[in-house]
Structure 1
Amino acid sequence: MAKDVPRNHLELSEVGFGAGVFSGVYDEIEASWPVEACRQALQSGINSFDTSPYYGRSEFILGDALHHLADEFPRSNYYIATKVGRYGYYAREFDYSSACVTASVGESLRRLHTDYLDIVYCHDVEFVPFENIVGEGGALEALFKLKGEGKISFVGCSGYPLPVLLKIAQHQHAKGQNLDIILSYCHYTLQNTTLAQYAPLLRAAGVRYILNASPLSMGLFRPSGPPEWHPAHAELREAARKAMEVSKAAGFNIAKLASQYAFKAREEIGVDSTIIGLKMKEQVEEAVETWTEVKERERGLIEIPKAERKVMDEVLALLAPYHDYSWESPTKKEREG
């Protein structure tokens, strides 16, 4: 079999497969779900998968699932993104050294059963000093070296605070070594659309691809409510709970409303893809159905029902006091633990 080779252009599906859910940190998963979900995604036109060593056994599970599907869907049919630098909950469990980054990429290649990685991000860049990212002997130096060797196609950064991502992008632009890609999360949602302000600034700093992740804001907008560890403060949690109740009373699912809202980011602010956690086949089907509906609305093929407009107005009004509020990252516990 011919060896897989890296690519120099990304044609990402507008919906990307977030495999962080395979960690089990949100909910438990059944053994058969990953293969079924990945097969459904690939059959539906989803062509990118996002994971990380930090996400428990996600790399192992995703890698095995895609390997299982290799006869149906060769490696050239999809993109794999993973991350380096974060290996635990606390800041002390980060390692952005070149040696660690190089070793981490090698381990990810093995776990994911591939000869190259399409995208590798420095994971949660706000947790480490700036020089650890951009300086000599730091993470980006190692990633760009691996890119030159053909083991990585695109180098990027992921994180929560957009000012930090922009600072790195601008530094690299001034250096003449642009970041290829940025992964932002929880910043184009029902509650926070700050990415709209930063997307043009990131483009101006030479970033080729901008991805929006976690349209449900790490579970804040799911019918069962956010996981216990969610960093949102009590007031925002309560507003999200009320939004869920209002939606439910009107016959709508808050998760679908949140996904619809986030999927508009491509049309409205030009993001290249939205990454959503998909742990089972049914969730893939729901995500694709929702995305398709959004596209049909954008084309004027179907109208938004008046009842949906009304409930969306009510939801946004409940969240308005916290609009564009970003929680602290890292938290005091993450910094000092």
Structure 2
Amino acid sequence: MGKSEHTLGHILQDLELENKEAYNRSKYHLSTKVGRYGLNTFDFSAKKVNESLNQSLEILQCDHIDMVFVHDIEFAEHLEQVWQETLPFLFELKSNKHKPIVRHIGVSGMPLSVLDHVMSRFGYQHIDTVLTYNSHILFNNQLLNYLPRWKKHNIGIIHGGTTGLGLLTPQGPPEWHPANHLPIFREACEEAMKYVTKRKGVGNDHNWELIRLAFLYCFDTDFIHSTLVGATNEQEFLRYVDWSAMPVHKEDKDLILWLQHNVFAPVMNRMWVNPGTEKNICNSHLHFYK
């Protein structure tokens, strides 16, 4: 609800005052989202997008956003609005040579078929990046099916949800997680956690072992350009930084393959459907791709 943008805006302004050469606007990229506001409010109209962007510019205290995502498009009441109104409006802002307040545009969401459907209708060549999540994780690698088409059009890939939105963590997923009503996912992930922890022995640090494998699985690719992380403290953040520079040893690769073929077999490449997205997912699957 704007809290992170307020925080970030104040931090960036303070840093620039301290050292303008190191922290001026050209030294970093800012990204934000439009389309989804709060838990269950969606508005993909150009009017709301314009209002949201102006609010972000004011809060972040800047004159442009480097990357704007049309977020969680699978929840759109009328999916065609995204490629007929939302994206064209953003593209118009991006194309304004006098005042380009948007530098790059993208789409984000979970169902890959919906993302691909919208990009194809709007024109792949006009999309700079796509943010997808849970699509290249230990028990789901369906992103591989879409990569040839997206790479052909030079679309940047950002991947999030590396732990299955919490399924692959010791504490488990948050209360709102759709898989809480699907025991097969929780059981598979809990079994994987127990197996990996048992291999490494007892100790608090070993609770991170399955998470480490999950991130290494994403980091060890040349097609994911950026892995989105959600660290809750400095310790977590530093772990992710360390893992991003860590080579993936054969032992880790063998363990990942073993888990996929044995523990994750019942859920491999299966994914839950968020209520309210069924129609758009169905329609996107019916779309014929050339």
TM-score of the aligned structures, taking structure 1 as reference length: 0.72
Name 1:290's counterpart in structure 2: 243
Distance 2:115 2:27 in 1: 29
Name 2:259's counterpart in structure 1: 315
Superimposed CA distance per residue, residues 154-212 of structure 1 (whole angstroms, 9 cap, x where no aligned partner): 011101111111111111227xx6111111111010011111111112233x3531211
Instruction: State the 1:89 CA deviation.
Output: 2.2
Is this contact kept in 1: 2:83–2:119, CA < 8 A?
no
User: Is the aligned partner of 1:240 residue 2:240?
Assistant: no
Is this contact kept in 2: 1:211–1:275, CA < 8 A?
yes
Name 2:82's counterpart in structure 1: 133
C-alpha distance 249-330 of structure 1, shift in aligned 2 (>3 A): same
Name 2:284's counterpart in structure 1: none
CA RMSD for the aligned pairs? 2.2
% of aligned pairs identical? 32
Query: Between Structure 1 and Structure 2, which shows a larger proportion of helix residues?
Result: 2
C-alpha distance 210-231 of structure 1, shift in aligned 2 (>3 A): same
Distance 1:179 1:310 in 2: 36
Is this contact kept in 1: 2:108–2:132, CA < 8 A?
yes
Name 1:64's counterpart in structure 2: 10
Distance 1:218 1:61 in 2: 24
Which residue identity is paired with 2:60?
L
Instruction: Give the secondary-structure state (helix, strand or coil) at the position aligned to 1:277.
Output: coil
* Structure 2, unpaired ranges of 5+: 201-205, 281-290
Q: How does 1:99-178 map to 2 (within 5 A)?
A: 99-128=47-76, 129-135=78-84, 138-147=85-94, 148=96, 149-173=99-123, 178=126
Which residue identity is paired with 2:115?
L
Which residue identity is paired with 2:246?
E
Which residue identity is paired with 2:111?
P
* Structure 1, unpaired ranges of 5+: 1-52, 298-302
User: Is the aligned partner of 1:185 residue 2:133?
Assistant: yes
Distance 2:63 2:184 in 1: 47
Distance 2:170 2:259 in 1: 14
Instruction: State the 1:122 CA deviation.
Output: 0.6
Distance 2:15 2:188 in 1: 42
Name 1:263's counterpart in structure 2: 219
Instruction: Give the secondary-structure state (helix, strand or coil) at the position aligned to 1:119.
Output: strand
Is this contact kept in 1: 2:138–2:217, CA < 8 A?
yes
Instruction: Give the secondary-structure state (helix, strand or coil) at the position aligned to 2:37.
Output: coil
Instruction: Give the secondary-structure state (helix, strand or coil) at the position aligned to 1:321.
Output: coil
Instruction: State the 1:258 CA deviation.
Output: 0.7
Name 1:17's counterpart in structure 2: none
C-alpha distance 283-173 of structure 1, shift in aligned 2 (>3 A): same
Name 1:34's counterpart in structure 2: none
Which residue identity is paired with 1:106?
N
Is this contact kept in 2: 1:246–1:315, CA < 8 A?
no
Distance 2:196 2:13 in 1: 40
Superimposed CA distance per residue, residues 201-245 of structure 1 (whole angstroms, 9 cap, x where no aligned partner): 2233x3531211121121111121111211122110111111111
Distance 2:234 2:190 in 1: 26
C-alpha distance 237-181 of structure 1, shift in aligned 2 (>3 A): same
Name 2:203's counterpart in structure 1: none
Which residue identity is paired with 2:68?
V
Which residue identity is paired with 1:143?
L
> Number of aligned pairs?
261
Instruction: Give the secondary-structure state (helix, strand or coil) at the position aligned to 1:79.
Output: coil
Is this contact kept in 2: 1:239–1:319, CA < 8 A?
yes
Name 1:215's counterpart in structure 2: 162
Is this contact kept in 1: 2:104–2:128, CA < 8 A?
yes
User: Is the aligned partner of 1:325 residue 2:270?
Assistant: yes
C-alpha distance 259-99 of structure 1, shift in aligned 2 (>3 A): same
User: Could you say which structure has the greater relative contact order, defined with CA pairs below 8 angstroms and 6 or more residues apart?
Assistant: 1
